[in-house]
Amino acid sequence: MKRLFAAVLLSVLLGCADSTEQPVSIDLEELTIESIHRAYQNGEFNSQQLVQAYLDRIDKLNPSINAITYINENALEVAKKLDEEIGENYELKPLHGIPIIVKDNINVKGMPTTAGSIALLNYYPEEDAFIIEKLKEAGAIILAKSNMAEWAFSPMHTESATQGTTRNPYNLDYVPAGSSGGTAASIAANLGAVGLGTDTGNSIRGPSSHNSLAGFRTTLGLISRSGIVPLMLRNDVVGPMCRSVEDAVRVMEVMVGYDSTDLITNYSQGKTENNYRQYLIKNGLEGSRIGVLRQIMNDNTDPEISGLFDNALSELKVLGAEVVDPIEVPNFRELSEDQWCSTFKIDLETFLEQYVQSDSLQTIEDIIKIGTPSEFAERRLEGYASKTGRWGRAQTECLDAYQDARRIAFRKAIRAVMDSLELDAIVYPSWNNRPAGIDSFEEEYLGDNNQVISPHTGQPAFTVPMGFLSDNLPAGIQFLGRMYDEGTLIKLVYAYEQGTAHRKAPVVD
């Protein structure tokens, strides 16, 4: 796979070298959608030149972090067409000429979708996922696919059978978390403008926290998942992973909408908005009430995380928020237990039937026969093949977030506390512990708070940077909101980001 990546990259760099007009020097560090569009309009550079600059940077830095798996060989051609559209008084599309990095479980026509597995190594989808269609319509350029934990199984690290292990660009001796670690590492290292990840329990917010990014897990039902290799559809979401809240909002806004092929989006009808950017308010924390959920922390919380979190609470107060510390959710531990249901087998086999359509690849048993070099992935495959239903409380039926009795009870309990205390959001550390070592992730995987609430309740949860630990390792603070109340979360996290400016770019050699 690495040889394939190198060959494709070389062909892109050589075969399309003449299509970018005159080469220009572009400082790629921390570029935003707004600054890119301003540069296009001012004639500083065009999208072909920007794509080429990112390709050059990938060629230089990706060997160190191993985040990119496949380059879109048509990226420069798409960029050229977008450049030709720009004329006098032309109004740019929302994502016009914005190079985006896509996790390798999301279908992009003409590019492989492997989900990090050998079984799907030769699967090239014939059509785009629903959200990819929307992104392309908005002018985005699919620049590359990113590495992921095989089948999205691991929140601990990002290791695929096709590409190997991705490293954290802030410190190569540590993991970027999983399973969307390839997107997180590549966007953190400025290998693309914006990125996409998927999140079943952790996989947008965990890697975003570990890589000093804004990561959005939106309300379950707000954005379609069709054309995406599932882990557990009852929990799966897809969302932005970006260096800034504003960029994440711009990407999210484009993807929102009903999709007849993903029934969970039925619940979003009448609850979405066309303009989420209106909530990008710098003083958005003024007059807000924020609850602190210390129940999700424990006695083993890393002292450095506790210090950063307490500092973040002080920052919220300085920025105008009233902080209610602590809050208590009655029966929190009991409500959070036994929420997981194993639906991987049926969800994956449905995907294989609808999209892959291969006579030799129809069941999870077919995948097990093909094999994997990862003992971890092998154990998970065998476990999911034999175990379906709820992990505990087997008598309770597994349903979606709008019908499952345990999920509804958990959500109602949290909503009751928020309503009684008139809270706009609840905050807690995205992780209680620091990132694990690249060679000791199984022993050091501790403190993952991303799994506990929003994947089960369906509520939106956004993580943003709250500073750095020793060894130059990032940490994030998470804001949990009410169903379909993305606007309030955007207002709060944007104000916090703008008022603190904790993100800084990694130095990658």
Catalytic residues: 103, 179, 203
- Torsion over CA: 115, 256, 455, 319 (sign): positive
Both tokens of 148, joined, read 């992921």
- Print burial letters for 120-130: b (CB count within 10 Å at least 16), e (below 16): bbebebeebbb
Alpha carbons 322 and 361: distance in angstroms, whole number: 55
Instruction: Quote the radius of gyration of the chain (alpha carbons, Å).
Output: 21
DSSP label at residue 325: -
Alpha-helix runs per DSSP H in 66-204 = 75-85, 130-137, 181-188
How many CA atoms within 13 Å lie on the side-chain side of 470? 4
Q: Where do the DSSP E strands lie in 72-193?
A: 99-103, 141-146, 159-160, 164-165
Q: Which two tokens stand for residue 282?
A: 């710098």
420 neighbors 426 (Cβ within 8 angstroms): no
CA–CA gap between residue 374 and residue 304 (Å, rounded): 33
- For residue 402, give the H/E element and its range: none
